[in-house]
Every structure is written in structure tokens, then in C-alpha cells.
């Protein structure tokens, strides 16, 4: 009987330990690693499938940053910060930068050029340059880890770290096109093949709706001013 109780106790202990292991296996620190400096670190629970790490490549150290309202000091470019995936906000020198992490290790530079790491979120696949205020130009939404230049045909646009929304004029004839989008700086080059259609026959009432609303609003203001005299 005593042996039976011992066996039951062991099984119960194993069961409890196994449950604790499952409950706590997703425990990660949100803060710095790979540094001997003392740092304030908070504990968060992050799914293991969505863990990302970021590091910062600055001209000089230390640098103070804020990651999603948590303040940290960066002492070197090898120092890593463990975060969840998804959108995060980083503040540096009174500026906000939005980044998108996708279960990855991302190196970020906020004061100089490093090798570009680009995520193109969307671009206009049907351009209708007919002055109807809808898809008149090529809109590209992307995330960059550094400063750089985006080149589409003969046009160039500057981008900064974080989220960028840029617009390129399209003066091509109607038809289907395939081309390469170049994003580069002194440290590297990123290329993305894109395909899009130019169709001037596709018109919307966007322009006329906006102008009508503005006209009604302006008329209401004028009417109010006249009646109040």
C-alpha cells in the first residue's frame, strides 16, 4: 500500500511539473541581451512562434530609445532586444518610427545607412492616371530598417527608417507592365519585381464627390457669415 501511495505521489508530481512547463515555456524577457551592463528589464509572455529580436546600429553609444513606451539604453550594436512580432513603435530623438516584425532578427539604424532590409506591404496594381483623384499614381507602402532611395523607372524617392508611403507618377501608355523596383544606399541594394496595369478608362467619382462636399461646406460657411451680419 505504501508503494502505491509513493507511485501515485510521483505521478502527481510529474503531472504538476509537466503542467508548469507548458504554462511557462512561452516566457521571454522584453529587454536587452548580450551585454554585461545592468539594465531594467520587464517580463512579458510572448508566443514562441512570434518572437523577434531587434538590434540598433548607431554612430555612437550609448543611446536612449523607447520601444512601445518602455525606455532602454543601447550600449552596442550586438545588444539585442527581444520583442513579439507585429507592429512596434520606436522613439528616438523625439521622433517616432513604426516597424513591422515577422518572427525575425532585424538590425535597425536611425542615424546612418546600413544594408537595406525592406518589407513591401502593398503597391498599386492598377494605375489610372486620368486625374480622377483615385489611383492616379503608383502608391507603394513599405517598411525599411534604414535610410535609402527607391527608384522606379527614372523616378527616385528618399525613404527613412520605419514605415514609408511613397507615390510615383506614371506616364506610360495603357497596358500591362512588369518592372523592377530598386531600393538602395551606399551599403546595399534590394530589388523587387512588380507587375501592374495602366488603365485610363477606369474612372471613379472620387474627385467629384470631394469637390461637391467642399462646395457645400464652403457655401454653408458663406451663408452663415452673411446671415450673421
Express as a percent the part of the chain with pLDDT over 90. 59
Cα–Cα nearest to 150, from 111, 95, 194: 194
Express each pLDDT in 95-138 by its tens digit. 999 999 999 999 999 999 999 999 999 999 999 988 766 778 99
Express each pLDDT in 81-99 by its tens digit. 998 889 999 999 999 999 9
Q: Is the pLDDT of residue 29 over 80?
A: no
Residue 49 · residue 5 · CB < 8 Å: no
Per DSSP, which regions of the chain are E strands?
A: 27-30, 32-33, 42-45, 51-56, 63-67, 70-74, 80-84, 86-92, 95-101, 105-108, 118-123, 126-127, 137-144, 148-152, 155-159, 162-169, 175-185, 188-198
Q: Is the pLDDT of residue 44 over 60?
A: no
Q: Is the pLDDT of residue 207 over 90?
A: no
Distance of CA 211 to the CA centre of its chain: 33
Which cell numbers hold the place of 35? 551585454
Q: Domains in the chain and their CATH numbers?
A: 2-108 (no CATH), 113-229 (2.60.40.10)
Taking the complete model, does pTM exceed 0.75, yes or no?
Answer: no
Amino acid at each position: 500500500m505504501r508503494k502505491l501511495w509513493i507511485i501515485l505521489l510521483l505521478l502527481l508530481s510529474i503531472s504538476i511539473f509537466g503542467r508548469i512547463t507548458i504554462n511557462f515555456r512561452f516566457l521571454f524577457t522584453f529587454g536587452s541581451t548580450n551585454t554585461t551592463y545592468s539594465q531594467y528589464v520587464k517580463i512579458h509572455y510572448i508566443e514562441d512562434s512570434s518572437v523577434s529580436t531587434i538590434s540598433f546600429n548607431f554612430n555612437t553609444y550609448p543611446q536612449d530609445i523607447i520601444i512601445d513606451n518602455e525606455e532602454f539604453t543601447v550600449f552596442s550594436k550586438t545588444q539585442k532586444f527581444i520583442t513579439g512580432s507585429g507592429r512596434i513603435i520606436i522613439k528616438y530623438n523625439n521622433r517616432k518610427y513604426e516597424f513591422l516584425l515577422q518572427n525575425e532578427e532585424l538590425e535597425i539604424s536611425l542615424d546612418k545607412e546600413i544594408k537595406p532590409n525592406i518589407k513591401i506591404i502593398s503597391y498599386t496594381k492598377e494605375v489610372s492616371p486620368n486625374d480622377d483623384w483615385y489611383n492616379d499614381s503608383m502608391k507603394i507602402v513599405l517598411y525599411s530598417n534604414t535610410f535609402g532611395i527607391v527608384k522606379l523607372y527614372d523616378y527616385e524617392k528618399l525613404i527613412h527608417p520605419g514605415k514609408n508611403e511613397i507615390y510615383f507618377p506614371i506616364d506610360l501608355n495603357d497596358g500591362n507592365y512588369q518592372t523592377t523596383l530598386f531600393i538602395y544606399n551606399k551599403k546595399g541594394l534590394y530589388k523587387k519585381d512588380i507587375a501592374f496595369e495602366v488603365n485610363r478608362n477606369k474612372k471613379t467619382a472620387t474627385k467629384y464627390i470631394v469637390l461637391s462636399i467642399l462646395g457645400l461646406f464652403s457655401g454653408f460657411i458663406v451663408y452663415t457669415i452673411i446671415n450673421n451680419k
